[in-house]
Amino acid sequence: MERYRVGVVGCAGRMGRMLLSVLAATEGCEIVGGTETPDSPAVGADLGAQAGLGELGIAVGADPVALFAKAEAVIDFTTPAASVSHAGLAAQAEAVHVIGTTGLDADENAAIARAARHTAIVQAPNMSLGINLLLAVVEQVAGILDPDYDVEIVEMHHRHKVDAPSGTALALGRAAAAGRGVDLDQVAQRGRDGVTGPRRRGDIGFATLRGGDVAGEHTVIFAAQGERVEFAHKASSREVYARGAVKAALWARAKPPGLYSMRDVLGLD
């Protein structure tokens, strides 16, 4: 089989550099380019050198159109607005698009879904294989335990993360809500301060912590009278997200147009 031509948008960021490192170590993959915003000091630098891989002879670009034109797949951990734009480019080029960006609103997700009519897009708030197994477990457990078990989701990330709760925490909340057959928007409690009164039965609570260089920690708590059940996932390196994203890109190579999730990639559905 011919080598799989893969590119990375946002290639000079923390996740971008990790993605390049994982791609370079993945058999069958060929890094064909990477882009950054036009004002980034990385533009024009050697793609491999800025990622600590040694010279690759490929300059960091500023034009995602050119990248999508030559790549079979592009991996995207950028910003909501950028990911929507990239999804449109992927649709035009019929390139696989793997999106790990979080913080998208309903309109942005709808735009990505429209683009997926024309190409394979894998979108997930967390590309970790372990987290996606946890999502399946949380949904199942929430369906078994009745609302007397209060659900609380606690997450912690590094000080640079800009959205809260994390996309993964919200996905865990949606999994718990799906297990109970309720709408998360109707039962979510995303902030407590001051005299809040007693906890409402059936609420799904969120607590957000930020600090240091924490790659990502999530705990889902089912608490009832007399007992507490906890499920936790702790990432010690962003490499787990990069490995999952590369796995998703490889999985989607032969897939027809459509919007896929990591559950699809892992065969959990």
Q: Catalytic site residues?
A: 157, 161
d(CA 143, CA 55): 52
Give burial (CB, 10 Å; 0-12/13-18/19+) of 22.
Answer: buried
- Three-state DSSP class for 199? coil
Give the start-end residues of each E strand in 133-249: 150-157, 188-189, 204-210, 216-224, 227-235
CA dihedral of residues 52, 57, 59, 65 (deg, nearest 10): -120
- Three-state DSSP class for 72? coil
d(CA 134, CA 27): 28
Please, what's the b/e burial string for 120-150 (b: 16 or more CB within 10 A of its CB; e: otherwise)?
A: bbbbbbbbbbebbebbeebbebbeebebebb
What is the length of the chain? 269
> Tokens for 203?
């609420």
